[in-house]
Amino acid sequence: MPLSDTDATLPERARRWLQAAPEAALPVTYQQLAEALELTPPRTIRRVALALEQLMKEDAAAGRPFIAALVVSRQGEGLPGAGFFELAVALGRFPDAPAARAEAWHSTFREALAQRPG
């Protein structure tokens, strides 16, 4: 499902917000990011996820750490959703072995923090 015309700016808005957020506030959940971006229903989490997937593709193409690593699911162990890991593997940036993915995310999270402006 591609982003709609009304969400065309959502990936860039998400990137700017994640770059400007205080380090102590990170990671944020998909819900927190949706609220920060003032999204209204329906499908706010899905729209955030699609925007983050777009950012992952841009970051992979530019050789940058995934800024999307700064966003996690509210469930589980504070890790991103399954879609993050699936795309990271598909983009050749994360190992295919599920057992190694959490460490890959932790490393990418630290790199994404370090790459933020300021």
Mean of per-residue pLDDT scores for the chain: 92
CATH 1.10.287 fits 10-115, yes or no: no
The DSSP result for the chain, as a single string, is -PPPGGGTTHHHHHHHHHHHS-GGG-SEEHHHHHHHTT--SSSHHHHHHHHHHHHHHHHHHHT---GGGGEE-SSTTS---HHHHHHHHHTTSS-S-HHHHHHHHHHHHHHHHHHS--
**pTM of the predicted protein model:** 0.92
pLDDT category at 76 given cuts 50, 70, 90 is: low
pLDDT digits (tens, 9 = 90+) for 10-20: 999 999 999 99
Compute the average pLDDT of residues 88-108.
Answer: 96
**Where are the domains positioned within the chain?**
10-115
